[in-house]
Each structure stands twice: as structure tokens, then as C-alpha cells.
Amino acid sequence: MNLTSLSLTGLKNLLQKKEVKAQEVVQAYLERIEEMEPQINSFITVLGDRSLEEAGRIDRKKSPGNLAGIPLAIKDNMVIQGLRSTCGSKILENYKGSYTASAVEKLMKQDAAIIGKTNLDEFAMGSSTENSAFYITRNPWDRKRVPGGSSGGSAAAVASGEAPAALGSDTGGSIRQPAAFCGLVGFKPTYGRVSRYGLIAFASSLDQIGPITKTVEDSAFLTQLIAGRDPQDSTSSSHPVPQYPEEMKKDLKSMRVGYLKQEMLEGIDPEVKEIYSHSLGYLEDLGAELQELSFPVWKYGLFCYYIIAPCEASSNLARYDGVRYGFRHNKAPDLSQMYENTRTEGFGSEVKRRILLGTFALSAGYYEAYYVKAAKTRDLIRKEFEDAFQKVDFIVTPTTPDLPFLIGAKKDPISMYLSDWFTAPVSLAGIPALSLPVGFSQKKLPVGLQIIGNFFQESNLFKLAFRLEKKVKLSGPNLHRKEEE
Ligand code: GLN
């Protein structure tokens, strides 16, 4: 049996029936990592011996937890005590966590065997994983292409069978977009659903942790394990956490689905557009009541995001001064030169661009014109979603405007930023969204559908995604192959 092709739930069933030992599972994944890493580069750190030892301990346990022996990959912007947490940056290259992120700790408490830390765009800023200070991760579907980003390492690890599931983080699309590019399910929960404690901050009013998995069921399962109030994060919600995997299989009472007006799809890849309209057909077959909606404020979302996120980043990243964390330039004649040299050498160019952008937008004289305006626009975006959710239960959009693109194809930062067109407004509103694989392009590149729900409607989102996933699988996820037949 090929253990590395199974879903998390598939593996869990085998482990619980004791048909396989945790150590065998971890060993199989480590071998797969050894085989795939030279071509894919998903990981920054692989925890070989440590995860095998962990698996041995789990095998000896009398009543192991819900994730007993399941290897999981964690994006390298979540800290784990005693382990390197680089955030994809030279400035944190040798930084070791002094505590463990709450979401990761919850998985460890359920006896997951953490198998490694995955590559990302430096400080999670990017959409391709090309901004990592270490190396580029490749898309397992086509190695000349990017896996998306910033959680590209997590997505590539799952898509290449190096891990059955992974955690990513999403500020403006960083779970959903790489999941779409790698043919996986990526879920960004409602802001506050999952604790951010131990997630290295990028833009604190937007950052959320979520799972990247092969199936909707795995996504529901992991979300349930990581969700909930955490006293260490004052923005985490005490809204009760339903049993998502069980809820997911129950009846979906109302299925009013809003889709985007044609004019909002102008300029996107024609194949993405075609697959999007095809998936509307699948939804109709499932009995959804479709409604065309217009979102006049949507087009300001991306610009608003690229003010707010850099503003928050410029303040969050002020702490990397060479004194408290990681890298320090140690040949400077005085303190302020040391700060300057440390930051000049430690940060990559995209991170510097964001810090400059954010500092500029927050500076006296410009604050009103940029930050305050963006904050007001954010309210309008939220309001636009609120109004839409008076009419529908879900909104569907393409996850990304493009197919997975070639490495090096988006050198111009603006063209890279456009990758977040459909995902950033959702992050600004703070509502949950899931990317589901719904088809393949002619070149066999995966395409995702973004399903957006209202605040804390994750159960309903999983319900719809679960039904649609079945439908897509029955119809054969390869749209073009299906049409040829
Ligand atoms: N691509 C977006 C950015 O570069 C989103 C990143 C993210 O969600 N972490 O900011």
C-alpha cells in the first residue's frame, strides 16, 4: 500500500485499526521527502529523527490522540519550541522558537508527528514562494511553475505526497491561492477562529492560520482541532467550535449561491473563466439557487489591502533590529549603524518594499490620505459582503485570476500583487473562504473555486464544499478530458 498517497482521514483509519504503525507511516513520508525534495524543495527543515522518535513514543501510548502518528508539515512562520523558525528570512535564519504556536500545540496534543517546517515567501509576503531567502519551491504538477504562495512549501509538500496535510497562514490569500495552484483544499477560517499566538506577525488584523489538505473532510477535521478561544490571543473568538466533520455530512438547508457578474471576470485567464462557469453548472446540479451579484467596491479591495497590510507589516517588523532576534550585523561602528546594516542585509527586497510602503503611508501628512482612506474602504468592503449575505448563503469566485505561472514570470511586483484580486477583499472583511479544486486546464494545471461564507459559517462552507467535491470527482475533475470523452 502506498501510504503517501492517502488522505489524512485515510491514514487515520489505518492507524486506528492498527493496520500500520506510526513509525512505519513516518518512515514512509521521510522516504518520500528524500525522493521528492531535490526536485520540489518544499521544506526548510525536515525533522527526520525527531519525528521518528515521536512516532515511536506514540506507538507505545495506550490511548493516543486523534492525530496519532499522522505526519504534518507546518509553515515556517509558526514557532515551535526549540526548532528553527525562519519565516523564510535571512534575518531569522538561526532563530529558534522559545515557545510553540497554539495551533501547532493543539495538533501535538493530539499526537501528530510534526515532520517538518515548510518554505514560504519571506515574512509571508508574496504569491509564488519565489521571495523565500533560501530557495524557490516548485509546483509538483509542473516543476517549471510556482506552487503559489506564500504557503507554497506547505501546498507543494501535500501535493507531492511529502505530507498528508499541512498548516499554512493566510493574510490576503496565502492558503487559498497555493492550494488552488497545487490542486488542494485550502481553508482560511473566519478572522479570530484560530489563535494567532506563535504565528510570526505580518498584518495582525488579517493573519489567520488554516489547513491545506487533499480533501474537504481533512480540512474540516484539522480546522476543528485548531479552532477555538485562546487566552494568549485576545483577538481569538469564544464562538463555540462545532464538530465540523460530522456537521459537514448533515443537510444543507439553504443553498443560495451568489456568483460574479461577467464584467468582474474581465482580464482573467480564459481557462480559469471557463472552469469557473463550469463549476456554477455543478452547483446548479446540486440544487443551488444561483444569483448573479455585482460588487462595485470589490475593485478597490486589492489596493486597500496593499495599503493596510504593509502599514501593519512596517510596524510588526520594527522588532527585527539585530538586538532581540536572529541575525545581527556586528561590524558597525555604532548602534544606529548596526540597526541599519542588520535590516539592510537581513531583509529581502520585497519585505523592504513593504516596509517602505507602509512607513510612507503611515507618515505624518500621508496618514489621512492613505491609511485612513484604506481603513474606510475596508469598512465599505465589509458592508458590501454583509449586504450580499442578506441575499445569498455563499459567494463563489475563481480563487485566482491566473493558472499556476512560470517561475520568474511575474518580476513586476504589481503583476504579482494582482494574484490576490479575488482573495484579498475576503481577508479584509474577515470572513471565511475555502478553495476547492474544480478542474484542470488543457496543460493539466489545477484550478480552484473560492467558496466564501459569512462570519463563523465554517460548518456550512464545509457542507457545500463537501457536496461539490463529490460532484466534481464524479464528473471527473479534468474538465477537458471529460469533454473529449
Ligand atoms: N500575496 C499576498 C501578499 O503578498 C498575500 C500574502 C499572504 O496571504 N500572506 O501580501
DSSP string, 369-416: IIIIHHHHHHHHHHHHHHHHHHH-SEEEEES-SSPPPBTTS--SHHHH
On whether residue 410 sits in a domain, the answer given is no
Q: Show the low-confidence residues of the chain (pLDDT under 70).
A: 476-485
Q: How many domains does the chain have?
A: 1
pLDDT at site 476: 59
Q: What is the pLDDT of residue 339?
A: 96
Examine residue 136 and state whether it is found in any structural domain, yes or no: yes
SS3 state of residue 61: coil
Cβ of 126 less than 6 Å from ligand 1: yes
Domain-embedded: residue 63: yes
Q: Please indicate whether residue 210, judged by its CB atom, sits closer than 6 Å to ligand 1.
A: no
Is 287 part of a structural domain of the chain?
Answer: no
- What pLDDT, on the 0 to 100 scale, is given for residue 483? 42
Predicted local confidence at residue 484, as pLDDT: 43
Q: pLDDT digit string (tens) for 304-330?
A: 999 999 999 999 999 999 998 889 999
pLDDT of 474 reads: 76
Mutate to test the pocket of ligand 1, among 122, 171, 175 (most ligand atoms within 8 A of CB): 171
Res 479: pLDDT = 43
154 cis-preceded (ω within 30 degrees of 0)? no
Note if the pTM is more than 0.85.
yes
211, part of any domain: yes
Q: Which of 12, 42, 75, 237 is catalytic?
A: 75
Rg (CA), the chain: 21
The residue segments making up the domain with residue 243 are 7-254+457-479
| Residue 92 falls inside a structural domain | yes
DSSP 150-195: STHHHHHHHHTTS-SEEEEEESSSTTHHHHHHTT-EEEEPPTTSB-
pLDDT tens-place string over residues 285-306 = 999 999 999 999 999 999 999 9
CATH of the domain at 226: 3.90.1300.10
205 among known catalytic residues: no
Beta bridge partners of 194: 227
Q: What is the pLDDT of residue 76?
A: 98
75 carries an active-site annotation: yes
**Per the domain annotation, does 471 fall within a domain?**
yes
What one-letter code names the amino acid at 53? E
Provide φ and ψ at 67, rounded to 5°.
-115, 20
For the Cβ of 207 lying below 6 angstroms from any atom of ligand 1, the answer is no
Tens-digit pLDDT profile for residues 264-290: 999 999 999 999 999 999 999 999 999
Q: For ligand 1, pick from 122, 127, 177, 450 the residue to mutate: most ligand atoms within 8 Å of CB.
A: 127
For residue 44, the model assigns a pLDDT of 98
Residue 50 domain-assigned (yes or no): yes
